[in-house]
Amino acid sequence: MKNKSDKIIFIILMLISSICYFFSTGFNNISFLLWIAPIPIFIYSFFNSYKRTFILAFSSFILGGLSYYKYFNDFPSIIFSILEYSLFFSVIIILCKFLFQKIRKWYVIFFPPSCYSLYEYCSSLVSKNGTINSLSYTQIDFQLLIQLASITGIYGITFILYFLPYAVSIFIYYLILKNKKNCILVFIFPILIMICTILFGYSRIKILDSHSHENIIIGMASADHLNSFSIINNEESSKKVIEHYISLIPMLSKNGAKIILFPEKITTINYKILSNISKLLSDAAIKYNVTIILGIRRIDSNNIFYNSAWIFSENGNLISTYDKHFLLPYYEVNTIYNIPEITPGKTFVTFNFKDSIFGIAICKDMDFQKITHAYSKLNAKVMFVPALDFIKDGWFHGRIAIFRGIEGGFSVVRAPSQGILMASDEAGRIIKKVATSSSENTYFIAKVPVGTSNTIFSQYKYLFHFFTGSIIFLYLILFLYTHFKVSPLKN
């Protein structure tokens, strides 16, 4: 850098951007800061070299990515994910700088958000963690904005998150250059798009509220103090855990709960004791006239382990078993600490309750949009999700499931141990949430509306990706046209 003032400006901008990223992403959730975070980088890119711009972008993303620090011990590979995301985001910044230098038109404002949202989608297809790193989840409290997920999935929210900051950056750039015409154009289009987005969100919520929804009373409970028994593979241990959870049912059923949901992997059940344990649950379902859903670690006669959910109807029948599809690295697949590997499930499971169809998924399954599309096609109105969190990530992980509900048009009922018992409707509004306790039983009762299971995104899952891909393609054509344009021959 040429002089001391350049270095000071660089450091100030890096601190502003990285601090905004740090406190708005990962385990921090001051969501409005994410709208500010990229602006210093974009503005800096207009007036400085590619090298300096890349260093500023990369260092800001890296420092901001430290917001995931609580996962570093449990999932060391997340450090490499942060490096990967920082690299790709920095490359996109460089591409934006290059395109703006070549075209220098106000309508390049659509390029960065298209790149970012398309990158998030492509990354989710190959990542073992699905959509977990999407920036859209930070906006959980912005109810009018997140309704966009019902049309575009979470990627439309990411689009807006980069569209507005880049438009503001170019507006400031034209303001510095005193280019009033482009200032007006850059100002008008983002405002119109934001107004349309907000109006859509408002109208969707109003329309959903105007419909008459059937409500079901859901009961959940968690006994985190029994988690140490969950991996013990013997009948005595399994019976102790199951009997304890059955003892929690009367408290829930007397308050009107018709469906009882317990957490993921509350005990280990092998094929030898399966009939004895299932009879306990069957008898409880009949006695209290409730449907019981619970998560277990299941071992079949071939010594194959599954992470399963059992569903017992109110007449005591084990009506279905669901096996978790997407497994947790280090703890269920590619395991460490001598933990047995889990075999993933292959089928989606629904069950009927009164006149509605309900679906089942387990914890990490909800990080993947495959769940959205599968259960929307099956016309599921409510998703029941046994889960197991790490205490520190109860809200971070729980909010992801809420977005699947917006995308698919269903309510979500999520019961983790070491997390937050939570229910949300298809608009992503939290009906109730209760943090579990490590020392005592935690109870949860709520009326949950049945969803519509009908969204544009669930029916046309590639629509928005086609839109962003087309924008990028059109910019490529525009660049080639501008770059290779030949002046007319003179007579």
367 lies in some domain: yes
The single-letter code of the amino acid at 353 is F
Rounded percentage of the chain residues whose pLDDT exceeds 70:
98
The three-state secondary structure class of 310 is: strand
Q: Are residues 256 and 388 in the same domain?
A: yes
Calculate mean pLDDT across residues 447-461. 93
Calculate mean pLDDT across residues 431-450. 95
489 lies in some domain: no
Task: Count how many domains the chain has.
Answer: 2
Dump pLDDT digits (tens) for 305-361. 999 999 999 999 999 999 999 999 888 988 877 788 999 999 999 999 988 999 999
Token pair listed for 450 = 């049945």
Range among 178-187, 305-314, 387-396 rated most confident: 305-314
pLDDT at position 1? 59
Stretch (H or E) spanning 462: none
pLDDT at position 489? 43
Q: Are residues 191 and 62 in the same domain?
A: yes
Q: Are residues 257 and 175 in the same domain?
A: no
Dump pLDDT digits (tens) for 226-271. 998 888 899 999 999 999 999 999 999 999 999 999 999 999 999 9
pLDDT at position 89? 92
pLDDT at position 71? 80
Q: Are residues 138 and 101 in the same domain?
A: yes
pLDDT exceeds 50 at position 284: yes
Dump pLDDT digits (tens) for 119-132. 999 999 998 899 99
Q: Are residues 242 and 100 in the same domain?
A: no
User: How far apart, in whole angstroms, are the C-alpha atoms of residue 163 and residue 181?
Assistant: 20
Q: Are residues 169 and 239 in the same domain?
A: no
Fill in the DSSP letter of residue 150. Answer: H
Minimum mean pLDDT range among 297-306, 334-343, 476-485: 476-485
Fill in the DSSP letter of residue 329. Answer: B
Residue 273 near residue 232, CB atoms below 8 Å: no
Q: Are residues 231 and 330 in the same domain?
A: yes
Q: Are residues 295 and 265 in the same domain?
A: yes
Report in angstroms the alpha-carbon separations of 139 from 35, 72, 145, 206, 412: 10, 24, 8, 20, 18
Dump pLDDT digits (tens) for 200-228. 999 999 999 988 788 999 999 999 999 98
Q: Are residues 275 and 407 in the same domain?
A: yes
CATH number at residue 453: 3.60.110.10
Q: Are residues 91 and 233 in the same domain?
A: no
User: How far apart, in whole angstroms, are the C-alpha atoms of residue 116 and residue 105?
Assistant: 20
pLDDT exceeds 90 at position 104: no
491 lies in some domain: no
The single-letter code of the amino acid at 134 is S
pLDDT exceeds 90 at position 105: no
pLDDT exceeds 90 at position 419: yes
440 lies in some domain: yes
Dump pLDDT digits (tens) for 17-52. 999 999 999 888 899 999 999 999 999 999 999 999
Residue 214 near residue 451, CB atoms below 8 Å: no
Q: Domain range for residue 123?
A: 4-210+462-484
Token pair listed for 358 = 């309900």
Q: Are residues 449 and 472 in the same domain?
A: no
123 lies in some domain: yes
Report the mean per-residue pLDDT for the chain. 92
**pTM attached to this predicted model:** 0.92
Q: Are residues 206 and 264 in the same domain?
A: no
317 lies in some domain: yes
pLDDT at position 485? 62
490 lies in some domain: no
pLDDT at position 491? 38
